[in-house]
Amino acid sequence: MKQSKGYTLRLTISLLVISSVLLTAAVSTYSSISSNKRSLSANYLDYNFQYAKKLALETNTLLSSMEQKLEAVAKLTNHHDFTQEEMDLLLTANKQFFNSIFIADSNRVIQNISPSSTGLKPGIQLNTETAMMAVKLKKGFISKPYKATSGRLILLISSPIFNRDGNYGGFVGGTIYLEQDNVLSQMLSEHYYGNGSFVYVTDQDGHIVFHPDKKRINSSALSNSTVKKALMGKSGWQQVKNSKGKEYFMGYAYEPNTGWGIVSQTPVSVLNQPLNDLILQMILKSLPLFLLILLISWIIAHRISIPLHLLAKGSEDAIVNKNNVRVQPKMTSGIYEVRQLYKHINKHLELLNNENKIDGLTGLANRKTFQQEIEEWFESKIPFSLILLDVDHFKTINDTFGHLAGDEVLRCLASTLRLYSREGDVNFRYGGEEFGVLVKNADKDTTFQIAERIRTAIEKAIPPTGKKVTISLGISEFNNDTSNTDEIFQKADYALYQSKSNGRNITTIYKDQYTISH
C-alpha cells in the first residue's frame, strides 16, 4: 500500500496564515463593533443628560422672565386702570409668552382680560381650584395643568397685586394653552430630530406639560422610572425600555423652580445604521488589505518552504533515484515586525507630542506652546503684539453655576478667539481663565482693533450660564527696545491689571512707563 506524502510545508503555512488572518479579522470586527457600540451608547446617554440639564436651565430662565413680566403688570395696576385696548396691546407685546392675560380682584372676579375670545369677560368670577389657590397663596406661582371653563388645558402663571398700603388686591394671570402652540412648545420643539430623539416635560405630579405628540399632554408619565428620579430632584441618565418594549437612551434633569422633570431621549435603534455602516466600511476597506496580506503571506511561506522543499525533494530523489543531490537553500528575510513596531511607536510618540502642545479643555495652544512660539518669533525678529485676557469674576461664575458651566464659558471664549483672530496668529490658554493671542505682523493699534472685536463679541454673546460674561484685556508690542520675551509678557500683564483696576471689560494698551485705557 502506497503511503500518503501528507501536506507540504507551504500549504500548511498558508492555511495557518489564512486561518489566523480570518480569525483575527473576525475578532477585530467584533471588538470594534462592541467598542463603538459602547462608545456611541455612552455618547448618547451623556448627550441627552447634558441636553436635559441645558433645557432645565433654559426653562428656568424662561419661566422667571414670564413671572417678571407679570410682576411688572401687577405693579402697574396700583395706579392705572387698564382699558381693553391697553390689555390687547399688553398681550400683543407678550404674545410670544402667553396665550391670554387677565387681571382678577381678591374675590377672583375678572377685571380685565385679553383676548376677548377666551369665553371669559370682566365681571365673571373664577371658581377653578387654581384661581382659588392663587388667592389663597397671595404670591406668585406656576400651576399644574388644569381644564379651564373654556375646555382648554391650561398652565397658569400668576403674580399677586398689593396696593400701596400693602393690602392684597388680587392677581395678574398669564395662561399657556398646552394643547396649542405656546412658548414651551416653541422652545422645546426645536429639539425634535428626525432620528426619533425628542424632549418632554412633566409637572411635579408627573403629568406631561410638553410632548411632541400633543395627545400625550396631561397624561401621567410616572410609570417611567426616569421621570420618577427627575421628580425626586435627581439628574442623570439611563437606558430604559418603555411599555411598548422600545429602548431609549434617556437623560433627565430636575427644574427646581417649578419642580418639573425634563427628559431628553433617543431611541437605541439609532445605533443600528451606524453599526451596519461600520461593518460594511470595515469589510470594504479591509478586503484589499486582506488580499494583500494573503499575497504577502503566500510569498513569505513560499520563501520559507522552498529551501526545505528542495532539500526534501533532493533527499527523495537521492533515495528513489539513487542520485546524490546537493541542496544549498538560500534564505533571505527581513524582520517585518520590528520595522512596523518602530514605525507605529514613532507615530504614537508624535501623537503624544502633539497632545502635549494642546490645552485639553479648549483645544487652544497651551502655555508651553505659547512660550516656544513667542521665543521663536522674538529670536527671528518677527513683528508681533501680545494680547493677554481673562474672564471677569470667573470665580463667581464657578461658585454660582458650577465648574461644568465655568468650563463651558472657557470653551465659548476659545471659540470666539478662533473666530476673531487672523490666520497666522496663535491663540493660547495660559492657565485657569487666562488666555492670550500672539498677533503676527501687527502693531498695537491693529492689535487693539482685534482685541476690541473679541471683547465686544464676548460681551454681546449669550453665554452658557445665561448671565452676561465680560473679559479684560491688556496689550503689549514687540519693538527694537524689547530685551526679552518676559518683558513683553509683563507689559501685557500690567496692562491687563490696569483694565481690571479701571472697572473691567476694558482693553488697555501698554505704553512706556504708563498705560492708556480704551
| Amino acid present at 372 | Q
Give 372-405 pLDDT, tens digit per residue.
999 999 999 999 999 999 999 999 999 999 999 9
Residue 304 lies in a domain: no
- CATH number of domain containing 433: 3.30.70.270
Last residue of a domain, one of 210, 242, 271: 271
**Res 356: pLDDT:** 76
**Res 309: pLDDT:** 58
**Res 498: pLDDT:** 93
| Residue 497 neighbours by CB under 8 Å, 6+ apart | 474
Give 124-142 pLDDT, tens digit per residue.
998 888 889 999 999 988 8
Q: What are the cell numbers at 402? A: 458650577
Residue 422 lies in a domain: yes
Rounded Cα–Cα distance for residues 190 and 438 (Å):
39
Is beta strand 471-477 parallel, antiparallel or unpaired with respect to 507-511?
parallel
Give 205-220 pLDDT, tens digit per residue.
888 888 888 888 888 8
Residue 483 lies in a domain: yes
Last residue of a domain, one of 252, 271, 290: 271
Residue 468 lies in a domain: yes
- Region of poorest pLDDT, from 287-296, 332-341, 422-431, 456-465: 332-341
- Asked if residue 259 and residue 379 are part of one domain, the reply reads no
| Residue 378 neighbours by CB under 8 Å, 6+ apart | 478, 482, 484, 485, 488
pLDDT greater at residue 333 or residue 113: 113
**pLDDT of residue 196 exceeding 80:** no
Cα angle value 448/452/457 (rounded, 5°): 155
- Asked if residue 358 and residue 266 are part of one domain, the reply reads no
- Asked if residue 359 and residue 245 are part of one domain, the reply reads no
Residue 158 lies in a domain: no
- Asked if residue 393 and residue 263 are part of one domain, the reply reads no
- CATH number of domain containing 237: 3.30.450.20
Scored b (16 or more CB within 10 A) or e, 366-395 reads beebbeebbeebbeeeeebbbbbbbbbebe
Task: Report how many helices (DSSP H) and strands (DSSP E) the chain contains, helices first.
Answer: 12, 17
Polymer length in residues for the chain: 518
- Asked if residue 505 and residue 385 are part of one domain, the reply reads yes
- Asked if residue 366 and residue 267 are part of one domain, the reply reads no
Is the model's pTM score more than 0.95? Answer: no
User: For the chain, how many structural domains are there in total?
Assistant: 2
Rounded Cα–Cα distance for residues 55 and 184 (Å):
11
Domain that holds residue 239: 184-271
Give 345-377 pLDDT, tens digit per residue.
456 546 656 667 888 899 999 999 999 999 999
Residue 194 lies in a domain: yes
- Asked if residue 488 and residue 383 are part of one domain, the reply reads yes
Residue 307 lies in a domain: no
- 8 Å CB contact between 158 and 173: yes
What integer best gives the mean pLDDT of the chain? 82
